[in-house]
Amino acid sequence: MDRGEPAAGMPEACEYCFLNERGQTAVRPEYIATPGESVDALLASPFYAPPRTVALYTWTDVMALPDSRTHLVQLLEEMISRKVPNPVVLITKCSVPGDVVEVINAARARGLTIIVYLSYSGLGRHIERGIRRDATAENFPKLSIAGIPIVHYWRPALPESATNETMQDVLDHVAEYAMCTVAAGLKVEKAALPRLAKFWPELAEKPGVTEAEGVYPRRFWEFIHRTWRRHAHYPVFHTNSCALSYVLRRADSFGIFGTNVCRVRNLCPAEQRFRCTTADAERTAPTSDSVQSALQGRGLAGIAWRLSGDGREVLIDAPVDTRVVAAVTQDLGVRVRVRRNDDDGYWSSGTAGATPVILG
């Protein structure tokens, strides 16, 4: 999922937000580009491709302020008028006003695919400062009634919300309205570790938390892998790409199918497993030439690599930026494993081979 950044600056100030270290919380958003300039930048990006999903406004909450919502309305219109074919993801914790619901549905009626990710984990306002949990919860029935596809973003996982009562309440509510859940642990950047350890002291004591795909309280980890006990047919994914594939009715294109995450962790519906199984049976493994060509196209010519025996993984013994790894993964449709680039502005990702850390 590529990211679009028409604006930067978060009016809210969640304690765990990666924007804290960038001075971008509790501030009004700055509009970096007009809607037209935003589309220009998207189409000119070396990471752009028509089928790929684009997440908009990932450095702000576009629903927080009237100015941001106006920018969104104009950007959706610009994408429609220029016939941008990409599915669009909007991520929010804030209330989605009725007029914006109408705009989203009008855009969908004109051919733009829009998915709304609702971030909701049951945390209190002393952690999610500026967020009204009741307003977030009310988004689920509001958008569901309007027919807008919802993905529940269960992030972050923190000890405070990892109680049976809170987790059951969250799951019971979202399972009634969302198409699926994506469960994500806490992302821990090195610069943020001292601040995050103030409300989760174990983070400071456990090696590897800053390199992890996500950090999870053990109670949450155990609960999220047993959600079928309460909602047997509700999909829960641990990979965002799989959630998108399910919602968009596509087969896996990130090399997840058949991995441990696919087989053991993801609670994936039978229809989606059939879709991926069928596509996998018809797939052609990449050749050495196609891998070399893909790497060269992403600025990785001359880098040492090898293809696994089953043709499902490309292993690179070198540091590579996460966004480049994600692009090569989609170019080839296989898993790409690299060494983490410590200068990368993106956090560690399971796409690049990072693994979870469980505490408690």
Domain boundaries in the chain?
2-279, 288-351
Average pLDDT over residues 230-253: 96
Average pLDDT, stretch 47-69?
95
Confidence of residue 350 (pLDDT cuts 50, 70, 90): low
The CA angle 187-235-93, to the nearest 5 degrees, is: 45
Q: Is the pLDDT of residue 351 over 90?
A: no
Q: What is the pTM of this model?
A: 0.94
User: 184, 332, 346: which is closest to 255 by C-alpha?
Assistant: 332
Q: In the structure encoding, which two tokens stand for residue 23, read together?
A: 């001075």
Q: What percent of the chain has pLDDT over 90?
A: 86
317: pLDDT strictly greater than 60? yes
Is the model's pLDDT at 113 over the cut of 60? yes
Same CATH fold assignment for domains 2-279 and 288-351 = no
Q: Where are the beta strands (DSSP E) in the chain?
A: 2-4, 7-8, 13-14, 30-31, 54-56, 88-92, 114-119, 128-129, 150-154, 180-183, 215-217, 236-237, 305-307, 313-320, 335-340, 357-359
Query: Which CATH number is correct for 2-279, 3.90.1150.10, 3.20.20.70, 3.40.190.10, 3.40.50.10420?
Result: 3.20.20.70
- 349 pLDDT tier (thresholds 50, 70, 90): low
The verdict on domain 288-351 having CATH code 3.30.300 is yes
pLDDT tens digits, 275-309: 999 999 999 999 999 999 999 999 999 999 999 98
pLDDT band at 322 (very low <50, low <70, confident <90, very high): confident
- How do residues 282-291 score in pLDDT, each as one tens digit? 999 999 999 9
